[in-house]
Structure 1
């Protein structure tokens, strides 16, 4: 990459950052716009990652692992918007924050609950894993309680134990239904045999 490419990349990053600041534009839409205008899918994807806060090394790894493969699968007539939607669904633009120790422990407990649940639908699993990776742990907790309650006879006692242990470590007051899900978890735990 020469200096002219560095300058072009910085311009793309600034444009992506500006477009995302309003909050109304999603990363995949910004990617599509930049990719079409610049004619460079890789540079556009890396620029959006930089604008949302994904470290440069992670962005390059994601492009090598996800982006290149997705780009190779594009068919004639596919547009940048199609690739942008795929990248978003794959979590390409997700920021994986560094978590404090209590949050790391809560995430481990939620992962243990997930394992205790047994087989789950792939779409649900994908969305849950994204929540866990992006640090949206209270949302993951609510989702897991709701899911487990829907299959209450199939959900083992350990599932509820792990969820309740995680809830004790999470500040969930700002997430809708968090407290009611804590109550529901206690009720479900009481209903399962030891």
Structure 2
């Protein structure tokens, strides 16, 4: 996702993503708040104080400017060993859930995070998101497999590139084919294991 974030900036379709470790920490604190997992307006400062330094740094980047500047804001979620995405579509001004399984707990998780983000960005920068709802994006289903993480990655790829060709590709590509392409991209990246090993061999 960091690769795609940089790619989107270079191509003029900037995206923002929140690290999954931040999502987990936010959810852990929200569970301590109560069953409704909602932070009251005057409690955001104390909630923020309970986070780690890395999570604080990430949340401070989620402000009105980010919501105005980025085409998509992507919040990857890992819940009950399942990966899915909460995505804010800036042009439409709405949150959408990108998910390869139909489980109801996933929609609840997305709504809890969306509610927190709406309150946080209002508290952090007085930026108001009027639509609190989370809509389901029509997506491919993973079937009987463990491919949820690969589906999440291909959707991030699509959102970063945002081209008709890429959207069509993700509808038809075999998931194992994309998995191989994804692995090759990560390994050959400037910080990837494969490139680093080749650089060492060339010395």
TM-score by length of 2: 0.28
Q: Which has the higher contact order (CA 8 A, sep 6+)?
A: 2
Structure with greater helix percent = 1
TM-score, length of structure 1 as denominator length: 0.28
The structure with the larger Rg is: 1
Greater share of residues in strand? 2
